[in-house]
Amino acid sequence: MPSRHAPPWVFVASHSHLYAGARLRSATPVAQLPLRVGELVIIAFSDQATATGQISQLKTAQDWTLHLYPRTTAKGTQIAAQTWRVGADETDTPEAARTLRVRRP
């Protein structure tokens, strides 16, 4: 039986960097994402830079830990590896179903 290979999960960040409270948007409603530990995640930032990482812990599609690898911003700033807790966007907005909030681990 062939192994399942998921494509990288792509999320669009609301800014050029992550911080506690930042939003990540998904093309798919978050509750429907079949995320798994170890899968690749790509974050596309507003400055056109990207970051790559992986899901290191997973409780649900709306509660997981993201480990980002070191990266360079569009302006050339070096950013060390980071770990973030990712959770549901609990605001009452139409886009909340496709949005996650970044928190400190």
88 burial (CB, 10 Å; 0-12 / 13-18 / 19+) is middle
Q: What count of other Cβ atoms lies within 10 Å of the Cβ of residue 51?
A: 23
Is the pLDDT confidence value at 4 over 70? no
Could you read off the pLDDT of 25-64 as tens digits, one per residue?
A: 988 888 788 889 999 999 999 999 999 999 999 998 889 9
Backbone angles phi, psi at 30, to 5 degrees: -55, -45
Domain boundaries, the chain: 9-103
pTM: 0.85
